[in-house]
Structure 1
Amino acid sequence: MGGALRGASIGLAVCFLATACGGGEEPEPERVTAAEQCDGTLSPVAARALTRVLGTQNFDDAPTGGLERVGGELTADHAATEGRTPRRSLCRASPAVNSDAITVAFRLFRDVDLPGDQRAADMHPYDMGVAALSGPRRADLYVRCVSPRFQGSDKRPARIKGQLDFLKSELPDTVPVREANLTVLHSVTLAMARELGCEDDAGLDEEPVFEALPE
């Protein structure tokens, strides 16, 4: 009898350790590396840039599905209006060691929304996409997209703006910081262009090429 009880106890212990009793499933692994942030849209170069600007290799668990969700939202927005639309948040990358974070969001823009001479002193123009700006606390990237998902875009391309924002930032306004922020945004925007089926990747290179414009 005692041997039978001991055998049953051992069997239960093994069952719980294997997490196979009662149809249980293995828990999903946490997505805590830089490369796994923003729905896995970061290239190796962009993942390294993210670790530099946020000062960590370890992040809070990152949910998935943002790329497909925001792609669908932009498609629906384009069908509903030709004007500027609400920001559609794709991701938030939060370090596990401090309270800082970055968010990346997309929206449709109007041509009158393109940056001109009036801009914040710490936002610097780059020759990327239709237009690009980057600074220590934010980066913007504007592209035009011709895709079957956007009706009429073969005659009037859809206009998409990607925006990266820091929750808070004490980074200096330097060229390496600007380029790191824009590298992250470029990678997510390129992934969005491919999700949407934009011709020629919406005019974006495989890797960012930085050419600062006169200010």
Structure 2
Amino acid sequence: MVRGRKGVWIAGAPLVLAAVLSACGGDDEDDSLTASRVCDGLFSQHAAADALRKLTGASLFADTSADGLPETAKFLESEHRKGVNWSRSSSTLCVVAGEEKRGSFRVQYDIYAPSDVGDTRHPEGAQLYRLGKRASARAGESDLYFECVSPESGGAGARPVRVHGRVDARGNRTTPNTQEFREASLSVLHAASLKVVKEMGCENSGGLSDPLVLEPVA
């Protein structure tokens, strides 16, 4: 999927999301997954599963297809080796679709430009948090920026992989822009990012706290 600057996702996303939603309409409960099992256990930690249920309003989820953890890690490492300043495409780690067409969203990763974390501006209604290099959340979306130093990137002293993770749930028009939902979105993104840094072998967990501590920036 092609991505524009500053996290604007371009053509293709509505079609993919529509396909995901249509796949949720089946009546076979054997295909249903709990929050801790969706996306191959990406949100297996109790707090992350709770945040997922809060964000979507669903307790069971449809199994969906996405790139998955190994492919997302390979994508980020490949983009880094190319020396790109920022990615013009992204890897979809996970697509979450609540049953009965309830809340749905996707988790995506790419390489960010250094200027992205130096910009003190943020979208209207967004709250900044002290997490990683930069983190923000508002109704329907959250973003997390962090750096990964790993053997694949050249180890200590080498240029780190600049990782941008994003939860995009802007299709959920009923998601309120409250602290509770903003932090649920970031909790989901943080849990996914911890799995990414583990898969990539990032030193010091990519600078991400574990357990999660969310400190708003005044």
TM-score (norm 1): 0.80
Number of aligned pairs?
A: 186
Alignment of 1:36-185 (within 5 A): 36-42=37-43, 43-63=45-65, 66-85=68-87, 86-114=89-117, 116-151=119-154, 154-166=157-169, 167-185=171-189
The offset of 1:151, in angstroms, is 3.3
Q: Does the residue aligned with 1:173 lie in a helix, a strand or coil?
A: coil
How many percent of aligned residue pairs carry the same amino acid?
Answer: 29
Q: 1:187 to 1:74 in 2, by over 3 A?
A: same
Q: Which amino acid aligns with 2:160?
A: P
Q: After the TM superposition, which segments of 4 or more aligned residues of structure 1 sit over 6 Å from their partners?
A: none
The offset of 1:205, in angstroms, is 1.6
Q: Does the residue aligned with 2:139 lie in a helix, a strand or coil?
A: coil
The offset of 1:64, in angstroms, is 7.5
Q: Does the aligned pair in 1 maintain the 2:55–2:103 contact within 8 Å? A: no
State which structure, 1 or 2, has the greater radius of gyration over its C-alpha atoms. 1
Larger mean CA deviation between 95-104 and 60-69 belongs to: 60-69
- Gapped regions of structure 1 (runs ≥ 5): 1-28
The offset of 1:115, in angstroms, is 6.0
- Gapped regions of structure 2 (runs ≥ 5): 1-29
Q: Does the aligned pair in 1 maintain the 2:66–2:93 contact within 8 Å? A: no
The offset of 1:152, in angstroms, is 6.3
Q: Which residue of the partner structure matches residue 25 of structure 2?
A: none
**RMSD of aligned residue pairs (Cα, Å):** 1.8
**Which one has the bigger strand percentage?**
2
Q: Which amino acid aligns with 2:204?
A: D
Counterpart Cα distance in 1 of 2:139 and 2:79: 30
Q: Does the residue aligned with 2:211 lie in a helix, a strand or coil?
A: coil
Q: Which residue of the partner structure matches residue 186 of structure 1?
A: 190
The offset of 1:168, in angstroms, is 2.4
Counterpart Cα distance in 2 of 1:77 and 1:38: 23
